[in-house]
Every structure is written in structure tokens, then in C-alpha cells.
A and B are shown apart, each in its own frame.
Chain A
């Protein structure tokens, strides 16, 4: 059979038309039922959306309240401080064979420092009287090659060498080393989480911050126990922690925004409070809190929640340091060293500058016979 014949045959087949009238009312009932169901579904969805929106709103308000009140402190800008300026004189001495990080031990007249060589680190001290370097065995493995930190507190020197934490008795020179375990709150997968900063609070309690971490570790030197607690608000483990007036201050970085943040740490609550409106990378404490932000020095009053700019001439990348009386801002530009010594009690700034000639990496700044600062020049670049 060809196609034409087949088509003609198919076309002769007929289908009977069925009148809808007897079934019309039943179809209408079913259609109305479907419409009613849809109406109920839409109403329920609307109700659900309202409930969800209300919950979200309450949550947002609560969250804002929690963050606003508990983790962030609002600061206002106070009047600019204009200090009286005066020149002062310093003598600069170069110290050979002293590595970094370092700290000056005034009582023993030595410089404690870390020597890094081929992925291994060792704690050393430079005797300023005898002009000799002594290394305190053993070596610690430090494959990451990071500088770490060194601090003096009480009878001990506390040192962070890579993933190792070392305590050296300043008088007996006896070292003890603790290897820190894996970081519990890493910001990314890494083989090592080297120590960044150390802050001894008491003889037995030391705060430790680590690279690639979002936590602070508390180390008990008697029980050798380490506890880590994660910082809220996506804050990186602090670059610097300092003590002042029964408070602990920190400078760190916001992981999400990448900007510098400062604030205070509450050890009892194991939480932090971030200072809003102040983006500073360096902090120091001398009777009050000071911070460097965009090449300007600021005095911060955490109680009154006020910050004030101090009118100073600052050059390039600066290093902020402090002792009990003064704040020091040291800068290096075109082979010239600039030192600003700020006395906050008398609102005086003492200025010094000198061309550096063939000077080593580590220098001592002396005021008369007194050693004022010991620093590594590389920190100023």
C-alpha cells in the first residue's frame, strides 16, 4: 500500500464529537476546587513569608544589638593635640651579630634575640658589656623561617620560634621548649602555623597569636596546657598584643575586608571588642593607648571612647615603640633616621634626626649613657 492510499483511508476514519453539557457542572466543581486549593496555598505562602520576614527582622535587630553592643565600640574624634616641639640628641651605635626579633634586657644589660639559620632557630643573647654572643642550645625547627616574637617578663624570656614556644630563665639561662600542636581555627590549610606575637600576662599565663589563624592561644607555663579560642567577627589572630591599665589591647586584620583593626581583649569572657572608626596597624601603650594610622599618631582613650590626632611630622613607614614614660616613633628615609619622642604627660615632642653611615642592621639609640631603644633597622622599611 502506498502512502497516498493509506492517508486517504485514514482520513475516512471519523471520531464522534461528545457533548460536554452533561459533564459541565462536574468539571466546574473540580476546576473551582483546584482554584480554592491554589488560593489556600497562596495564603499559606504569604503567611509563611510574613513569619519568615518577621523572624529575619528580629534576628537582624538582635544581631545588630549583639554586635553593636558586645563586639564593637563606637569612637568619636576629639580635638587635635598640638604638642610643643623640642630637639634632643641621641647617639647611635651599631651592634654586630644580633638577629631579629630582639628585646633589650636593661637589668642584665644584654640583648635577647633569635638567630634563624637553614630552617632552624636558636635563642641567643648579646652581652653589651663583654660584646659577646652566646647561643642557648637546643635548636628548634622553624621550616617556615618566620621571625616570631621575643618578650621579657619576670625572671623569664618568652620566645616564639616557628611552631615552638621557648621559655628561658634569664638568670640560669636554662631553656625549656614546648611544641604547639596544630591550629584549631586555621583560616586556610597550612603545614605550619608559626607564632606571630607573644604577650606574657603573668608568670604562668601567656597569650600567643599565630600566623594563618583566627584564634588566640592561652599558654599555662606551669601546667603546659594550651587553650585556643576563636576570635569573633572574622578577625585574624593579632599581629600585636600589649598590656596597659589592666587592659589588653590588640592590632589585627579583618579577614573579610582586609583592613587593620584594633581593640581590646577580654580574657575572662574570651572575647574581643573592636574599636570602630579607628583603622590602625601599630599600637603602643605608655600611660595611654597610642596608635599609628596613615602616618599619623593618635592618642586613644578607651574609657571615654575618644581618639585624638597628635600633630607630629612623621616620615615614611614608621615603627611605634614605648617605655613607661615616652612613645617613640622611629622612621627611616633616604638614609636618615628620624626619632620622635612624645611625652604625653607634658604634651612635648622631642625630635631627632641623623644621617646613617655604614651602619649595621641592629642599632642602639642612647640618650647620654642610657640605652633608650634597641631596634632592627629592617623593621623600618
Chain B
């Protein structure tokens, strides 16, 4: 992870000297891969999307205007790639039970209910509550306004509640 000032300096240099992009690539590879891998079923697709994300970021680097952190910008590209993959009927990765998580039927029901939500509603729940991203980051990645982000979060919670109660 790069520091804010360091990131700005490297990006400005990479805009002039493409070789400097390697620093950005190495700095954010883990986060981007992790973000993608959590949402796709196979490693092969995750590798493809991760490579594509960095390639698109490099191609459009000159148009990056520091409206958000570069990682958030990379995640927005990643999410767009994922959404276009979902549109091609690709099935997303379901939220799996992992070690350290409370083991009960209630949590299993909740996982199933989240997985049943539409794309954007599922993403806002995942990014905001599970991945602990700030609302500013979430709305930039989803490319929606502040008002829309809270409205979407409320809608997602309502839908999830109905889903849990239905299953319960």
C-alpha cells in the first residue's frame, strides 16, 4: 500500500515515464487480486481480470485526476469488469464460511440471503459492512452520488431483511 503523497508523486511520474507504473502495479496487486478473487469462482478468471484492471489503469493513467485514491480507482475498474462478466451470465463467488466466523445456522442463512441480492445491493453490503470500506470509497467504486449511496444501502438492508425473514 502506498502512502498518499508517495502515490501522487509516483502517478505523476508514471504519466511521463511509463516504467514507473511498475511501482503502482506492485503496490496494489495484492488488494486488487483479493477484491477480484473474492467475487469470482476460479483463479484463472481472477488473474485475467486483475491483469485487465492494471492494463486499463495504465492506458487511461493520464486521465486520472486524483478524485479518489488510486486503489479506489483500480477497484472501480475491477468492479466494472466484474459487472460486465456477470452480464455475460458468469456466476459470482458466493460468500463462504471462513475460519473465525461464528458457526451457526443463522449466519449461514445470512450468507445465502446476501448472495441472493442484486449486484449493486450485494456489493454495497459487502464493501461497507464486511470489507469495512468508507462510504466515500464505496460510492466512488460504485460510481454513484452520496444520496444514492445511502438510498442504495437502505434498500439493500430492507431487501436483506425481507430475505432473512422469509428464509427464517
Contacts and interface: CB of A to CB of B under 8 A. Distances in A.
Report, as a range, how many residues of chain B touch the other chain: 35 or more
Interface in B22-68: 25, 29-30, 33-34, 37-38, 43, 46-48, 50-52, 54-55, 58-59
B95 A13 contact: yes
Given A13-B101, A20-B33, A38-B55, A6 B38 contact: no
A13 B130 contact: yes
Contact of B47 (A3, A7, A11, A30): A30
Contact of B107 (A1, A7, A9, A19): A9
Contacts, number: 83
Interface string A225-238: 00000000000000
A38 B59 contact: yes
Contact of B29 (A10, A27, A33, A38): A27
Nearest to A31: B51
B53 to A, nearest CB: 9
Contact of B129 (A11, A20, A24, A35): A11
A1 B129 contact: no
Contact of B34 (A7, A18, A38): A18
Contact of A23 (B33, B59, B100): B33
**From DSSP, what is the main secondary structure of chain A's interface residues?**
helix
Contacts of B157: 3, 6-7
A13 B107 contact: yes
B118 interface: no
Given A27-B47, A27-B51, A15 B95 contact: yes
B33 A15 contact: no
A20 B29 contact: yes
B111 to A, nearest CB: 7
A10 B125 contact: yes
A378 to B, nearest CB: 68
Interface of A: 1, 3, 6-7, 9-20, 23-24, 26-28, 30-31, 33-35, 38
Interface of B: 25, 29-30, 33-34, 37-38, 43, 46-48, 50-52, 54-55, 58-59, 95-96, 98-102, 106-107, 110-111, 114, 125-126, 129-131, 157, 160-161, 164-165
Given A15-B95, A18-B37, A19-B30, 14 more contacts: A1-B161, A1-B164, A3-B161, A6-B160, A10-B114, A12-B107, A14-B101, A14-B130, A15-B126, A16-B99, A27-B47, A31-B25, A34-B51, A34-B55
Closest 3 CB pairs of A and B: A30-B51, A34-B55, A31-B51
11 contacts: A3-B161, A10-B125, A12-B101, A13-B130, A14-B98, A15-B130, A27-B29, A27-B50, A30-B48, A30-B51, A34-B51
